[in-house]
Chains A and B, each alone.
Chain A
Amino acid sequence: MRIELVKRPERSQLFAAFSPFIALGLTLIAGAIMFTVLGKNPVEALYYYFIDPLREVWSLHELAVKAAPLILIAVGLSICFLSNNWNIGAEGQFIMGAIAGSILPVMFPEFQSWIVLPLMLLMGIAGGALYGAIPAYLKVRFNTNEILTSLMLVYVAQLFLDWMVRGPWRNPEGMNFPETRTFSPSAVLPEIWSASGRANWGFVFAIVTAVALWFMLSRTLRGFEVQVLGQSPRAGKFAGFSQSRMVFFAFLVAGGLAGLAGISEVSGAIGQLRPTISPGYGFAAIIVAFLGRLNPLGIIAAGLVLALSYLGGEAAQISIGVSDKVVRAFQGMLLFFVLACDTLILYRIRFVGSSAAKTVEATQNV
């Protein structure tokens, strides 16, 4: 038996809507099998992963804290991926945004004013955007593969952060711990509703950005430009759109949003710079972007799902002793299933029997 693809005359609206759900379902099944192999009760394990974190209000706040950077980065990446720019260096842009945004609270701690926070956010956006502009410039000017350059810059950013917090920016009163001084209150992103939990304004930024970019992509000429250049570059050129400008646009938007996510995370959730400020948000956001089918509204939902998997990982580690390393395996599987299910949008899948059976069929028709 072999599998054959039959091209659909038009893309299937049905599967465009449902393929992420099918993928989620398949991931849960695969996860259940994996837990069984690990000797855990799969029902119990999945409960701790995907239901338990949703039962308490403070835990919902934590969900928002984790979802905010994922959504912010992923909506930026959706512009990149839709326009066929493979920016996989969001993790680096996140880190550089965090560093640039931290200049004020680390180097000028005595400068305290209402304007500090807006400036920090703007500098975070600028830091991420400029770091994203490097692979964009190299792609436009030298035709250099942006996948490899943007990824290499992630390692550079990580090492740079490590050096900063151990070297020039180490907290003078910090007992030699590799971390910067803690931010003063005026440099901390406020919580939305501190009575009930930790969720900060970063989540609001994420939702507002996602809705704005959804509007841009689906209703404006700029959104049309993104899609045309991504699907069919020659047709885009024929339309008079500039490929080079689009490369910069996509990388600056994605880098800026990753930078915003970085400074929001540091200012809101952590309160200082440390050698590690992200559990791989920049890479998990790639999964979020595809799970949300590159649609910013879908990405909000997908970001919440991935955030839930992080929380569930922590919950499961505490309650049933499953390693938190399982989470990343889970996320990787999810992306695989999402990509596989997306095939159904453009193709019907046909299982073809052995050729002997086919001959019989053919002769009968004669």
Chain B
Amino acid sequence: MDTTPLANGRNLLEVRGLTKIFGTLKACDQVDLTIAKGEIHALLGENGAGKSTLVKMLFGSLEPNAGEIQWNGQPVRITSPGVAKKLGIGMVFQHFSLFEALTAAENIALSLADDTPISTIAAKARALSYSYGLPLDPESLVGDLSVGERQRIEIIRCLLQTPDLIILDEPTSVLTPQEADKLFETLERLRAEGKSILYISHRLDEVRRLCDSATIMRHGKVVGHCNPRLETPSSLARMMVGTEVKNAERTTAAVRGEELLSICGMSRKPAGPFSMPLKNIRLNVAGGEVIGIAGVAGNGQGELFEAISGEALQDSADAIRIRGKSAGRMGISARRLLGAAFVPEERLGHGAAPRMRLSDNLLLSRHTTDGKAFVGMAGMVKSGAVQKAAQRIIEVMDVRKSAPDPEAAALSGGNLQKFIIGRELDRNPSVMVVNQPTWGVDAGAAARIRQALIELARNGSAVLVISQDLDELFEISDSIAVMHNGDLSKPIPIAEATLERIGLLMGGAEPGHLDHAKEVA
């Protein structure tokens, strides 16, 4: 079954029966994994399948409840990241483990056990980064760097420890397609140097292109091993999800109605020390269409969302119009009264209060728009009506939960997101703005959410979706605009949009130079 290109016939890492239990949940259940020397091994699985838990145990951040790990044929106990590093295991985290207030060199120093002076480390890091074509300024503050540059620090930090096994957790989720290509070259070079790589992803194309073998996880269990080059994307997806995966259907072509959301020259100064300004944003979204906004994380998408929702006000009332009304000086409640609905990126702590019940979280965004239904005399909350509405949403969106009215934090990411989206759809909004609709959501729930957004548009509403997931945007959008460094490009109709063209815009190519860039590429 395994067709690993063995260098000397010995395995670098063998894991048998590794189990991790959180409370009643078996995050990893009797997991087996074998990684040969000099191979790139993919770990595939949906969100919540247990991939991150598994690698945290391999890196010593989590302690397994049971199971055995063999390193170079010897049984080992990896009790801390320090032990892992000594063995020769390096890790590049998905949500980076960097310190924003420190310089790149200081960040690297912190993961090296010895007392080498910072200046020596900086010099080494600089040399190594250039030799791998990942240029890096060790003196710069991490807080000022882009996500791509941050990932370089993580990779350089990892390489400086000269590991035999490098674990990368979803490394391309923060990169443009072109940056990802560059990363693949680096990884292939590392493989040629005899290093092993454990590559975690849910992107099937890149796994098929890069990896020599794959282990597939579902619900905490290993459900298969395969050679990804011999599989098709749909056969891999079937293994990951367990059933056939349906793409959202775009039932009918979009019929552009009147413009329901128009942003004309919206600018915003950076709110915090490490945040992005918005530069003269222009965009119109008409009833009936879904417009997607692509971009690498941290290019101003969060700031744009807050400006559109009214959590941050504009200087001029005309900077944004909702259903024809100037709304720039209106707060979020007033914008909702105009018919707009908003779903932020962060579910816990922004879109929902974690320690409050679902019914309370319904009230969170609807106390003004549904004031008559939910709030009575003297500001008294009609809890009966609120609970009934919450139940209705739970049924319509098929939200799975363990108690009749649980706290938001008790739900899985997918189920909470279904509730939050359902909470807004239930109002039948004429303008819907969603930031990262399916981030960290399982495939079933994601498909359902995407379908719901398309249907909302087809029933005459304007839908704006901000996402870092290009596959998602290509699946649901009628046109795609790209955000880079606080600038928003013109929307490109889906028929003319190619992965490459969008990718170049994400990397900061000037729209005017695009054709030229295309020729070069």
Contacts and interface: CB of A to CB of B under 8 A. Distances in A.
10 contacts: A11-B355, A220-B379, A220-B381, A221-B375, A231-B353, A235-B353, A237-B332, A238-B344, A365-B66, A366-B68
A9 interface: yes
B380 A219 contact: yes
A224 interface: yes
A220 B378 contact: yes
A221 B364 contact: no
Given A240-B333, A240-B336, A235 B349 contact: yes
A9 B402 CA distance: 10
Interface in A229-276: 231-232, 234-240
Contact of A232 (B311, B354, B380, B381): B354
A17 B49 CA distance: 37
Contacts of B356: 227-228, 231
A85 to B, nearest CB: 17
A222 B410 CA distance: 25
Interface in B311-347: 311, 331-333, 336, 342, 344, 346
Contacts of B360: 224
A6 interface: yes
Which 5 pairs, one residue from A and one from B, show the smallest C-beta to C-beta distance?
A240-B333, A365-B66, A220-B379, A232-B353, A235-B353
Interface of A: 6-7, 9-11, 219-222, 224, 227-228, 231-232, 234-240, 355, 358-359, 362, 365-366
B331 A231 contact: no
Nearest to B333: A240
A12 to B, nearest CB: 12
A228 B378 contact: no
B406 A10 contact: yes
B79 A355 contact: yes
A295 to B, nearest CB: 15
B381 A224 contact: yes
B56 interface: no
Interface residues of B, number: 45
Given A10-B403, A10-B407, A220-B378, A234 B66 contact: no
Given A220-B380, A239-B364, A362 B353 contact: no
B67 A362 contact: yes
Given A232-B354, A359-B77, A238 B65 contact: no
Nearest to A215: B380
B365 A238 contact: yes
A238 B66 contact: no
Contacts of A234: 346, 349-350
Given A11-B407, A219-B380, A221-B367, A238 B332 contact: yes
Contacts of B353: 228, 231-232, 235-236
A222 B375 CA distance: 11
A33 B365 CA distance: 52
Contact of B66 (A7, A220, A235, A366): A366
Interface string B390-409: 00000000000011001100
Contacts of B342: 238
Nearest to A8: B23
B491 interface: no
Interface of A is mostly: helix
B337 to A, nearest CB: 10
Nearest to B355: A231
Interface of B: 16-17, 19, 23, 63-68, 77, 79, 309, 311, 331-333, 336, 342, 344, 346, 349-356, 360, 363-365, 367-368, 375, 378-381, 402-403, 406-407, 410
A235 B350 contact: yes
> Which of A222, A228, A235, A366 counts the most chain B CB atoms within 10 A?
A235
Contact of A362 (B64, B332, B351, B410): B64
Contact of B332 (A10, A224, A240): A240
A6 B402 CA distance: 19
Contacts of A237: 311, 332
B367 to A, nearest CB: 6
A221 to B, nearest CB: 5
A239 B366 CA distance: 8
A228 B362 CA distance: 12
Contacts of A220: 378-381
Nearest to B77: A359
A221 B381 contact: yes
Contacts of A227: 356
A359 B69 CA distance: 13
A345 to B, nearest CB: 10
A235 B348 CA distance: 8
A221 B368 CA distance: 10
> Which of B67, B333, B336, B379 counts the most chain A CB atoms within 10 A?
B379
A221 B354 contact: no
A7 B22 CA distance: 9
A362 B76 CA distance: 13
Contacts of B363: 221, 224
Contacts of B378: 220
B14 to A, nearest CB: 13
Contacts of A221: 363, 367, 375, 379-381
A365 B350 contact: no
B64 A10 contact: no
B351 A235 contact: yes
Contacts of A362: 64-67
Contact of B17 (A231, A236, A239, A366): A366
Nearest to B331: A240
A227 B410 CA distance: 19
A222 B379 contact: yes
A307 to B, nearest CB: 32
Contacts of B406: 10
A32 B131 CA distance: 70
> Which of A221, A231, A362, A365 counts the most chain B CB atoms within 10 A?
A221
Given A9-B23, A238-B351, A228 B410 contact: no
A228 B353 CA distance: 7
B368 A240 contact: yes
A6 B23 contact: yes
A302 B116 CA distance: 57
A239 B375 CA distance: 15
Given A237-B332, A238-B311, 19 more contacts: A9-B410, A10-B406, A10-B410, A219-B380, A220-B378, A220-B381, A221-B367, A224-B363, A224-B367, A228-B364, A232-B350, A232-B353, A232-B355, A238-B365, A239-B367, A240-B367, A362-B65, A365-B19, A366-B16
Contacts of A358: 63
A6 B24 CA distance: 11
Nearest to A7: B23
Contacts of A235: 349-353, 364
A7 B344 CA distance: 26
A219 B376 CA distance: 10
A296 B23 CA distance: 34
B79 A232 contact: no
A358 B23 CA distance: 17
A227 B363 CA distance: 13
Contacts of A7: 23
